[in-house]
């Protein structure tokens, strides 16, 4: 009981000074919230019922084209149409090096990452010899010539090696988040 009270005290203390404890690597958590903004084909902002401020989320298991890369704008538009201002569910157990929540995302019971790959808007996230969680869906999209597979496609990791990161958009300080 004392350990549980101590954990509650620590969590509340951190929240009080502005640090948000969202998840730990040891335990998966499920959150529900409304998508407030889509940054690109694999990153968006969500406002959960647990927190007042929107948090940045990166899809776990997919890699969408960079915004300045071929099919980047179409991938962003597809994700925007699919999830913006809608209630989604996050299943998360980690954050990345940039502080983004890594999550599997569902909308009305369907896996949004899978939908992005099936429709040719993203790759299954490959690492070394692991073809990723949506390898079958990627193979089908490629065979059908859907989305980014309708042209010569370069994985984002390779694109960044060749061309560097996309230039940052103009400052967004004038935009109001809601």
Residue spans of the domains in the chain: they are 23-162
Print pLDDT tens along the chain (178 aa).
Answer: 554 554 444 443 433 333 333 434 457 899 999 999 999 999 999 998 666 889 999 999 999 999 999 999 999 999 999 999 999 999 998 999 999 999 999 999 999 999 999 999 999 998 888 999 999 999 999 999 999 999 988 999 999 999 998 887 643 443 444 3
pLDDT for 127: 85
Question: How far is the C-alpha of 11 from the C-alpha of 173, rounded, in Å?
Answer: 30
What the block records as the tokens of 149 is: 């597979």
CA-wise closest residue to 60 among 43, 38, 77, 37? 43
Six-digit token string for 44: 């968006």
Q: Can you tell me the distance from the alpha carbon of 168 to that of 141, in angstroms, rounded to the nearest whole number?
A: 30
Give the length of the chain: 178
Q: How far is CA 110 from each of CA 10, 87, 91, 166, rounded to the nearest angstrom?
A: 35, 12, 13, 31
DSSP H or E run through 106: strand 101-107
- Give the residue carrying structure tokens 């309708």: 150
CATH architecture of 23-162: Beta Barrel (2.40)
Tokens of 134: 């949506």
- The catalytic residue positions are 58, 66, 100
pTM: 0.78
Identify the pLDDT of residue 158: 94
């Amino acid at each position: 009981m004392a350990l549980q009270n101590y954990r509650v005290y620590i969590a509340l203390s951190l929240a009080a000074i502005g640090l948000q404890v969202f998840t730990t690597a040891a335990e998966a958590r499920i959150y529900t919230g409304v998508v407030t903004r889509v940054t690109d084909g694999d990153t968006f902002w969500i406002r959960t019922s647990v927190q007042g401020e929107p948090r940045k989320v990166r899809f776990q298991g997919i890699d969408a084209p960079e915004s300045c890369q071929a099919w980047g704008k179409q991938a962003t538009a597809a994700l925007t149409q699919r999830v913006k201002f809608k209630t989604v569910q996050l299943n998360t157990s980690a954050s990345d090096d940039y502080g983004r929540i890594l999550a599997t995302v569902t909308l009305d019971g369907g896996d949004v990452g899978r939908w992005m790959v099936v429709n040719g808007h993203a790759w299954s996230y490959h690492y070394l010899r692991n073809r990723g969680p949506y390898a079958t869906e990627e193979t089908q999209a490629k065979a059908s010539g859907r989305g980014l597979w309708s042209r010569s496609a370069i994985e984002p990791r390779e694109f960044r090696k060749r061309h560097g990161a996309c230039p940052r958009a103009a400052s967004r300080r004038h935009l109001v988040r809601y």
